[in-house]
Structure formats: structure tokens, C-alpha cells
Amino acid sequence: MPYLKVGKENSTDIELYYQDHGSGDPVVLIHGYPLSGASWEKQVPALLAAGHRVITYDRRGFGNSSQPTTGYNYDTFAEDLQKLVTRLKLRNFSLVGFSMGGGEVARYIGKYGSKGVSKAVIIGGVPPFLLKTADNPEGVDGSVFDGIQKAVAADRYAFFTDFFRNFYNTDVFLGKRISEQAVQASWNVAASASATASFACVPTWYEDFRNDLARIDVPTLVIHGDADRIVPIAAAGQRTAKLVKGARLVTIKDGPHAVSWTHADEVNAELVSFLGKAAAKRAAAAQK
């Protein structure tokens, strides 16, 4: 199993688990809370078939990565990603982030610039800024996040059960676009995550990414479901698309938070179309 050392806590190495498949233009897929890189299973085959090299990894604290008690903030998450990019010597790569992963996309470019990055995709992402403040009236009241963190602390297993109902809008899609078994599989991944990470990541959801988004200068696609109950499209996707110069917003009709699963065909078609253009242009240029 491939691991990348990104730090150390006392006597223990902090390692990220990753998978690296295919060839062609690299695409790095960054998962959401409280899942792992395996949550991209409906996207990986489509991207491989389109001729991409596809890299997934587990955020620290989740999946098969180490479970330290430190580093649950976006500067560290972006640094972890940067170490993976460096280790794999990626060039001309695309960053695709779902939910929390949208924060890594924004902070990575905000912190390290876009050198080597060809395109960016944010799906149901937490940017630009989810917390309601005097200069951000469109945000969500802080008491909501406090309540979530208290619920995680009290009984994260019960919290995850409720969370996934709204993650997939199971009252609408269970038995149609998602099975009970798939929801259970997500719960199992969440339950195996670090208790520390499950709690500590909640305040990161309302990180202020507005300055990061202003630095994104590569073609950007924003995908968001208009029935997202976890990260409302009006507070997130619509505003992100406006703040990133030239970004295109694709709204998934009736889509819940996890459109990458429930509406995978629509999401994959948009991804392949958007990410495939650069490869096609280079191939055409090479033939001249």
C-alpha cells in the first residue's frame, strides 16, 4: 500500500495513503468529510477511460491515512497536498475537490499559486466562507456549527447516521439513486475515522477562502446540487463561481450534497468534458 510521510507526532510518522492509476494528464481527487479517497469510485473509472492519470488520497485522520491529533486546519491540509504533488512530481495536473476537498483546492492555490495546475474543479465545496459575519451576511449562523461539533463529541456514530440522511437526501433518493448498503458503507468509513479528526474538522468548514479564490487563475468548474442540505448552493457554489474569475457553474437539478454518487453520470460527463479539453488541445497542437 503506497504511503507518503507528511510529518511526525512524537515517535509516530504521519502518513497519507494514496492510490495512483493510469497515465496521461494527472487528476488529483480530494474527498469530503467524513469519507476517504474511496468515495470517488464512480469517478475514477470514467476519468481513467478518458485517458487521465487519476490520484486519490485519504486526508489525515480519515480512511487508511494516519490518525494524528494535530494538523486539522487548511494550511496543513494544503501542505499535505503539496507534499503529495511534489512526491509524485506532478506537472500540468488538475485538482478536483468535493465538499471539504474544495477547501484544499482553494487553499492550495491560495498558498502555493497555480504553477503546475492546469484546471480546478470544486464540487459541493465549502468555499468561499460559510460563517455568517458582519461582512458575510450570506453565511450560516455559528451556532449551527457549534451544535454539530457538540453532536460529534456526544456520539459521533449517531451523528453520522443523521448526517448521511442529509448527505444523500435519502428521503428522496434511497432505493432510487442510492442503496441502503451504500449509505451503510459510507457510515462504516466514517466510523473508522479518527475521533479527533471527526471533531476537529467541523470548525474548518467555515474557513474564509475568499482571498484564496481571488488567486485562482486557471480554468475552474464549480458543480453544486440545488438541493444540497449540507452546504447550501446559495451560500457556497453560486458565490464561489462569482468570485473565481471566469469560473463556470453547473447546477445539478434536485442534487443533494453527494452528487458525485447520486448523480454520477451528470457529474462525470461534466468532468470529462472539462478536464479533457487541455489534452485534446495539446494533441491537436502536436499534430501540426
Angle between helices 180-192 and 142-168 (to 10 degrees): 140
Question: Measured between alpha carbons, how far is 99 from 55 in angstroms, rounded to an integer?
Answer: 17
Verify whether residue 99 is a known catalytic residue.
Answer: yes
- Nearest CA among 206, 200, 204 for reference residue 130: 206
Among candidate residues 52, 224, 257, 263, the one labeled active-site is 257
| CA–CA separation, 233 and 35 (whole Å) | 21
Contact indicator for 121, 275 with CB cutoff of 8 Å: yes
- DSSP SS3 for 158: helix
Q: Determine the Cα angle at 266 with ends 29 and 251, to 5°.
A: 90
SS3 percent helix, strand, coil of the chain, rounded to 5, is 45, 20, 35
Q: Which of 25, 58, 80, 228 is catalytic?
A: 228
| Per-position DSSP letters for 35-101, written without gaps between them | --GGGGTTTHHHHHHTT-EEEEEPPTTSTTS---SS--SHHHHHHHHHHHHHHTT--SEEEEEETHH
Determine phi and psi for 29, rounding to 5 degrees: -100, 125
Give the active site residue among 36, 39, 65, 99.
99
Do residues 208 and 129 lie in contact, with contact meaning Cβ atoms separated by under 8 Å? yes
Q: State yes or no: is 228 an active-site residue.
A: yes
Residue linked to cell 450534497: 257
What phi and psi, each to the nearest 5 degrees, are found at residue 135? Answer: -100, 10
Sign of the dihedral defined by the CA atoms of residues 200, 202, 203, 206, in that order: positive
Active site amino acids? 99, 228, 257
